[in-house]
Chains A and B, each alone.
Chain A
Amino acid sequence: MPADPVISGQQVLIFDTGPLLELVLYSAVHDLQLGLLKGQLQFLKNVSSYQKVSEFVASFPKKTTTPHVVAEISSWIIRKTERKGQSAIWGLVYREFSSMRMDESLLKLLEMPQELVADIGAVDVSVLKLASSFGKTKPIVLSIDSTLIAECKRAGVNAKDLWEVIFDNNS
């Protein structure tokens, strides 16, 4: 039986770029049959892993991210996909955001510690700072980035690797 995040106080899921991209890519490959993108999927390689992640995400009443993450998705789309398919992929990004009722919180660069930004990058810091801002609500950061996960744990923020979600027998 999966742990109930509401009961354990973990009501907010904060998305880093990787897991969001995986959900979008899975839809692109399976709903739109954009087979060329199949090779880009690193984690959600079958229905079972997709369902596990989908159910894990569903167990959080609130989902949020930062504009930095959106900018990173944008950059990925520009670099890694063909121009003619980009409009369709943005369509999927919008669908994921609206269907999940995704929230976004702005964090200004000047409000982030410069040394930390220089060390792990502005995107990771934005996610870490957003998580810290929730205080007692105990959000969970979902990422595929081991550096960010380590930094979150160092700062006392709950963080989960997408692999853990897929391979955790209890989730």
Chain B
Amino acid sequence: MTKRLETLPKKQFRRIAAWIYAVINPIIDSLQRELSLLNSGNLTWRSRTNKCEFIRTIQEYVDSTQWPNYQDFLAEHRDSGLIPGFKQHNSTLEKVNTEATGVFVRLLDSNVFIDMFEAMLRQYEIQRPSLGPQAQSLADTKKDVREEAAQHVINNVQSLPSHYVIASFWNSTGRNLLSLRNNPEFQPLHRATETLLKTSTKLKTELESYRLSLSRNYDVPAAPVPGIPFEE
């Protein structure tokens, strides 16, 4: 192995650098963000797209101008354990998106959610005069608010910044709706989210370990260092 490394042409090192800088590092960074969101229960799922906004497939974590390097990485790692990890991440994410969409539809159809939402909104409208000028009446946009509230329940949003129109409602009475997350309808989504959390944690560790082995074997720094050309 050592002998082979000694005879590798320089272009091979540049290719390794391309994998590290254009493929592995962006994926590790994105998985780190993804784990932070998943740990707080915030899926960033949006009803507008029926997808998690900031949790994406592995390929989407790589800049599209670097997709040829991503394809190159896949081609050279067919037998590696990383590729099944990528596939499992993407299929679990798809499951999370499907389950979140299902929960959203069922919530809006559920009498339990509708009755609780109506009660919270009524309570808010009563409290509104004491909440200050930013507490707007939401009675005229009830349908939009209900959909937004369902989305916040799915994303486990604990509080909203004041300048969001429904912040006063959500931060006073609306967030009581989060208790619905304990209902059985949420279990498939929670299970899929837990699987994604485990898959992404494992994948991030494996990628970090693989990056370390590439750095050691090919003497390519884990991140580019300005002024130090690695290929000389």
Contacts and interface: CB of A to CB of B under 8 A. Distances in A.
Nearest to A88: B54
B133 A6 contact: yes
Contacts of B60: 87
Interface in A24-60: 32-34, 50-51, 53-55, 57-59
Interface stretch (B5-13, B82-90, B156-164, B175-183): B156-164
A23 B162 CA distance: 12
Contact of A100 (B33, B65, B133, B163): B163
A100 B162 contact: no
Contacts of A50: 161
A99 interface: yes
A167 B166 CA distance: 26
A83 B65 CA distance: 9
B36 interface: yes
B26 interface: yes
Interface size class, chain A:
20 to 34
B62 A84 contact: yes
Interface in A120-167: none
Nearest to A23: B163
Given A33-B36, A61-B136, A84-B63, A99 B165 contact: yes
A6 B128 CA distance: 15
B44 to A, nearest CB: 8
B62 A100 contact: no
Interface string B43-73: 0100010000110000011111100000000
Interface size class, chain B:
20 to 34
Nearest to B32: A33
Contacts of B164: 58, 99-100
Interface in B126-180: 132-134, 136, 160-168
Q: Is the interface of B mostly helix, strand, loop or mixed?
A: loop
A170 to B, nearest CB: 14
Contacts, number: 61
Contacts of A23: 163
Nearest to B53: A91
Contacts of A55: 134, 162-163
Contacts of B160: 99
A67 interface: no
A32 B33 contact: yes
Contacts of B166: 99
Contacts of B48: 94, 98
A38 to B, nearest CB: 14
Interface string A100-114: 110000000000000
Contacts of A87: 60
Contacts of A5: 133
Contact of A58 (B36, B62, B167): B167
A58 B134 contact: yes
Contacts of B65: 83
A34 B26 CA distance: 12
Contact of B54 (A53, A91, A98): A91
B133 A4 contact: yes
A5 B132 CA distance: 11
25 contacts: A2-B133, A4-B133, A5-B133, A7-B133, A23-B163, A33-B32, A33-B33, A53-B163, A54-B162, A55-B134, A55-B163, A58-B164, A58-B167, A58-B168, A59-B132, A59-B133, A83-B64, A88-B53, A88-B54, A91-B53, A94-B48, A98-B48, A99-B164, A99-B165, A100-B165
Closest 5 CB pairs of A and B: A58-B134, A57-B163, A84-B63, A99-B164, A58-B162
